[in-house]
């Protein structure tokens, strides 16, 4: 009964349907990987039968992606238990197949002259579902269940970024893909699955002495910096190179200090840090067509990163000084003059095992 009632109630108004029929897909891509993968996609679509509907290609890829992820979830539902390596490889394969099929459905539509607004809606609708499974599979493969806050952030950040990408399209009318965007993210996750399949999921455990885990905070600085510089409509890096490098340099200095402390204290290195607030705002601002002047946010990133670094360093030094009962810039006792003179004489003349100065000893040898 509820289903029948739902069918009777129209979702799209006549005006919406009329506008939908007039819709034309607009896309701009500056992706680094897309040109390299075009030969593979062109070959693949050439092998596809002409009778195969583009939407069927899309749904097959989605189903494969969902099934491989569900297998992974069965073995590690909370992201804590290490899943078998073959499940990680299966996810890598499923995501590669999904990515390939998702890239040729539009080509198949143009090839068979069946392009329509429904195809675009169907494609993006499947992508919205796939985003959830791709993000979750990557987190399980990295065993982020040991760190629930990080697991929450990664999954919902992926969902939010996908939404923001379409929000930007809603505002501008054109879907834009930067140099490092969806394709690059998908292949990065494929690489994560392959690392887990080859080395085991335990390799991603985020201990301070782990070999690979410290690369993640650095990636969270360098990757956004690269994306922001490449996608900036105001050429923010070219026009303000010094400010840009100083701003991201302060963030990098903060995470480097945290790495040193993690090493010295044999502790875990946390990924998320308040110093990343500035880069995050710059990144999100570009998704919203730079509603705030980029230079304003760049100066904010520099100011915020600088104060955050100084505050962090000051607090750490204070805590260590209190623990070791030492002063940072001052010797906590007064050196006696006689002691200083004695030390100086020992430095100048040296003392032999018998207590006599080497200077006198050498003079006796001369006589």
Tokens encoding 332: 């906590």
CB under 8 Å to 130, separation ≥6 — which residues?
A: 62, 65, 66, 98, 102
> How many CA atoms lie less than 13 Å away from 229 in the CB half-sphere?
17
For residue 353, pLDDT beyond 80: no
Q: Which of 180-194, 196-210, 211-225, 326-340 has the highest mean pLDDT?
A: 180-194
Q: List strand residue ranges (DSSP E) for 121-208, in order.
A: 175-177
At residue 93, does pLDDT exceed 90?
A: yes
Question: Is residue 124 among the annotated active site residues?
Answer: yes
- Percentage of the chain beyond pLDDT 90 is 24
Catalytic residue among 23, 124, 359, 367: 124
Q: Is 44 a residue whose pLDDT tops 90?
A: yes
Model pLDDT, residue 292: 86
The 3-state DSSP class for residue 359 equals helix
What is the average pLDDT across 88-109?
94
Residue 123, C-beta contacts closer than 8 angstroms, at least 6 positions apart:
58, 102, 105, 106
Average pLDDT of the chain is: 79
The residues facing 28 across adjacent strands are 176
The torsion defined by the Cα of 332, 336, 341 and 343, in degrees rounded to 10, comes to -40
Q: Kindly tell me if the per-residue pLDDT of 213 is higher than 80.
A: no
95 or 166: which carries more pLDDT confidence? 95
Confidence (pTM): 0.63
Strand partners, 176: 28
Average pLDDT over residues 342-357: 44
Q: In sequence order, what are the beta bridge partners of 357?
A: 351
pLDDT tens, residue by residue, 110-157: 999 888 888 888 888 888 888 989 999 999 998 888 878 778 878 888
Q: Check: CB of residue 34 under 8 Å from CB of residue 99.
A: no
Cα 6 to chain centroid distance, Å, stands at 41
Instruction: Tell which wins on pLDDT, 6 or 69.
Output: 69
Q: What is the pLDDT of residues 99-112, one digit of tens each?
A: 999 999 999 989 99
Is pLDDT at 246 greater than 90 in this prediction? no
Confidence of residue 90 (pLDDT cuts 50, 70, 90): very high
- The pLDDT, as a whole number, for residue 327 is 77
* pLDDT higher than 80, residue 189: yes
Residue 199 has pLDDT above 80, yes or no: yes
For the chain, helix (H) and strand (E) counts, in that order, are 15, 2
Q: Which residues pair with 29 in a beta bridge?
A: 177
């Amino acid at each position: 009964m509820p289903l029948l009632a739902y069918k009777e109630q129209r979702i799209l108004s006549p005006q919406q349907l009329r506008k939908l029929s007039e819709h034309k897909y607009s896309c701009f891509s500056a992706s680094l990987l897309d040109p390299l993968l075009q030969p593979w996609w062109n070959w693949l679509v050439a092998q596809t039968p002409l009778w195969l509907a583009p939407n069927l290609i899309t749904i097959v890829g989605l189903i494969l992606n969902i099934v491989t992820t569900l297998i992974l979830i069965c073995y590690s539902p909370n992201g804590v238990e290490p899943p078998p390596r073959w499940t990680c490889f299966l996810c890598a394969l499923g995501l590669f197949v999904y990515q390939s099929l998702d890239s040729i459905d539009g080509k198949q539509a143009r090839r068979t002259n069946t392009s329509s607004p429904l195809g675009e809606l169907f494609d993006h609708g499947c992508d919205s579902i796939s985003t959830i499974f791709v993000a979750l599979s990557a987190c399980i493969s990295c065993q982020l269940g040991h760190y629930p806050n990080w697991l929450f952030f990664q999954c919902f950040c992926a969902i939010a970024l996908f939404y923001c990408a379409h929000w930007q399209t809603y505002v501008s009318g054109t879907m834009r893909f930067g140099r490092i965007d969806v394709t690059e993210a998908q292949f990065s996750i494929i690489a994560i699955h392959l690392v887990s399949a080859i080395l085991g999921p335990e390799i991603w455990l985020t201990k301070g002495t782990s070999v690979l885990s410290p690369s993640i905070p650095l990636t969270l600085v360098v990757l956004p910096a690269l994306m922001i510089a490449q996608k900036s409509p105001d050429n923010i890096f070219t026009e303000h190179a010094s400010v840009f490098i100083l701003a991201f340099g302060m963030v990098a200095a903060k995470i480097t200090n945290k790495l040193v402390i993690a090493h010295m204290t044999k502790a875990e290195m946390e990924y998320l840090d308040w110093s990343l607030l500035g880069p995050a705002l710059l990144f999100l601002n570009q998704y919203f067509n730079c509603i705030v002047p980029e230079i304003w946010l760049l100066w904010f990133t520099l100011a915020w990163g600088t104060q955050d670094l100084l505050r962090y360093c000051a607090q750490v030094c204070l805590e260590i000084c209190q623990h070791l009962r030492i002063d940072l810039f001052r010797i906590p006792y007064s050196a006696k003059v006689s002691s200083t003179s004695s030390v100086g004489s020992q430095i100048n003349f040296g003392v032999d095992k018998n207590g006599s100065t080497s200077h006198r000893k050498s003079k006796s040898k001369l006589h």
